[in-house]
Amino acid sequence: MKVASTRTNFDVETIRKDFPILSREVNGKPLVYFDNAATSQTPQQVINAIVDYYTRYNANIHRGVHTLSQEATDAYEQARVKVQKHFNAAQSHEIIFTSGTTHAINLVASGFSSLLKEGEEIIVSALEHHSNIVPWQMLCERTGAKLKVIPMNDDGTLNMKEYEKLLSEKTKLVFVNHVSNALGTINPVEEIIDKAHGVGAAVLLDGAQAAPHIKANVQELDVDFYVVSAHKMCGPTGVGMLYGKEEWLKKLPPYQGGGEMIATVTFEKTTYADLPHKFEAGTPDICGGIAFGAALDYMNSIGFENIASYEHELLEYATEKLQEIEGLRIYGTSAEKTAVISFNICDIHPYDIGTIIDKLGIAVRTGHHCAQPVMDYYKIPGTVRASFSFYNTKEEIDIFVEAVKRAKNMLS
């Protein structure tokens, strides 16, 4: 597999031309899309891969001797290898295609139902998305295990001293997001993993918010499970991946039963297929997997160092501009964060600000961002969240800031 070389000159205007949606208008204004943490936009190169699949070789995979099936199978499995190499997994069969991060987390949680015992403990953090809270609560209900929580600090970081106190020989699993979706905080995952392994616990990292900004190396991290969604990194919705160390994936039972995940079936007994098919029951999102690979090719052609550097510029610029607005408070002020700004202005409800600036063509996310414990910590109903990507510009930030000022004046 050959990945396109990294661009030496980062030209945002040239990059923007790859995204057809960025040329449209919303409510008569040029679109300013700052909701990238919810879903990123899709470049023409990925759209072309989707169209190519459906116009040239649409067929079911792994099951046909005919040419179209073989071509589809090859493209799908090549995409798996692209994912493997991007995240530096040791084996391609350690990559399980899923419908997204939520599916991947639930797959692991379901598997541990047969491994976890009553009285054992699992740990999550106070910064988690609901998708990395609810499945573990359900797991505790099924097994009698106890859920413990790493508390957060006022700046949106985790209290690592308290984390160390939570760890014990009873700890079997630790689940933490690599990056907070609500605040943008980059968690000290290397330390979290090392300390968890020190007591014999496995670690799952929710990489949904990290993957668009950070090229995670799962072997260097020594993480046991890593999960992502393609739609947050220029790919389509409805597809994602679970990385799991081979030793763990072999221990976990299948998540679903059906076709593809079996070796033999009789009415007396069924034996399961080898990895990765053991966890991929039924016809997968073939086109989605192929497009996921195309999205990784695209982002790697730009270069993650280039992306990180440019997005940091946007973050600093937007932070400085927004802080000039009287009464505006930013939540999540860690020195280590991705290009996300969550804020409120005085007593104005975030929904009202989001609604007004939408009329000016600006897309942001408002609410609790599926992270209600974070909002409860700050004693607020939610925030306005502006999240930037490498195809955004400082000129768009200027438009956004002026719109926020206008909304404040209207609502004060």
Residue 239: give its domain's CATH number.
Answer: 3.40.640.10
* pLDDT at residue number 280: 82
* pLDDT at residue number 398: 98
Same domain as 313, residue 280: no
Distance of CA 336 to the CA centre of its chain: 17
Contact 45, 296 (CB under 8 A): no
* pLDDT at residue number 258: 66
Q: Which of 234, 287, 346, 370 is catalytic?
A: 370
Q: Which domain holds residue 35?
A: 12-39+303-411
DSSP 261: S
| Backbone torsion region of residue 130, taken as left when φ is above 0, otherwise alpha when ψ lies between -120 and 50, otherwise beta | alpha
In a domain, 3, yes or no: no
3-state secondary structure labels for all residues of 285-353: CHHHHHHHHHHHHHHHHHCHHHHHHHHHHHHHHHHHHHCCCCCEEEECCCCCECCEEEEEECCCCHHHH
Q: 133 burial class (0-12, 13-18, 19+ CB within 10 angstroms)?
A: buried
Contact 270, 264 (CB under 8 A): yes
In a domain, 289, yes or no: yes
Same domain as 103, residue 153: yes
In a domain, 7, yes or no: no
> Residue 242 is inside which H or E element, if any?
strand 240-244
Provide the domain count of the chain: 2
Distance between CA atoms of residues 177 and 127, nearest Å: 7
CA-closest candidate to residue 177, choices 214, 147, 206: 206
CA-closest candidate to residue 232, choices 216, 217, 215, 211: 211
CA-closest candidate to residue 384, choices 370, 367, 396: 367
Same domain as 361, residue 244: no
Same domain as 220, residue 172: yes
Which tokens belong to 224?
A: 């046991």
Residue 346 known to be catalytic: no
Which of 283, 300, 317 is the C-terminal boundary of a domain?
Answer: 300
- First and final C-alpha spacing in the chain: 57
Q: What CATH number has the domain bearing residue 391?
A: 3.90.1150.10
In a domain, 5, yes or no: no
Same domain as 144, residue 64: yes
Please name the residue that has the structure tokens 């700890």. Answer: 171
Same domain as 246, residue 116: yes
pLDDT tens across the length of the chain (412 residues): 233 334 447 899 999 999 999 999 999 999 999 999 999 999 999 999 999 999 999 999 987 789 999 999 999 999 999 999 999 999 999 999 999 999 999 999 999 999 999 999 999 999 998 888 999 999 999 999 999 999 999 999 999 999 999 999 999 999 999 999 999 999 999 999 999 999 999 999 999 999 999 999 999 999 999 999 999 999 999 999 999 999 999 999 887 776 666 666 667 676 667 778 888 878 899 999 999 999 999 999 999 999 999 999 999 999 999 999 999 999 999 999 999 999 999 999 999 999 999 999 999 999 899 889 999 999 999 999 999 999 999 999 999 999 999 999 999 8
Same domain as 308, residue 272: no
* pLDDT at residue number 261: 64
Which of 300, 323, 345 is the C-terminal boundary of a domain?
Answer: 300
Contact 277, 225 (CB under 8 A): no
CA-closest candidate to residue 309, choices 175, 203, 213, 399: 213
- What secondary structure does DSSP assign to 20-37, as a single string? GGGG-EETTEE-EE-BTT
In a domain, 228, yes or no: yes
Which of 282, 300, 318 is the C-terminal boundary of a domain?
Answer: 300
Same domain as 399, residue 296: no
In a domain, 363, yes or no: yes
Distance between CA atoms of residues 88 and 25, nearest Å: 40
CA-closest candidate to residue 57, choices 322, 286, 302, 329: 286
* pLDDT at residue number 13: 97
In a domain, 1, yes or no: no
In a domain, 337, yes or no: yes
Distance between CA atoms of residues 54 and 92, nearest Å: 25
Same domain as 379, residue 236: no
* pLDDT at residue number 278: 85
Same domain as 162, residue 274: yes
Contact 209, 400 (CB under 8 A): no
Distance between CA atoms of residues 114 and 134, nearest Å: 18
Same domain as 240, residue 143: yes
Same domain as 229, residue 153: yes
Distance between CA atoms of residues 124 and 163, nearest Å: 10
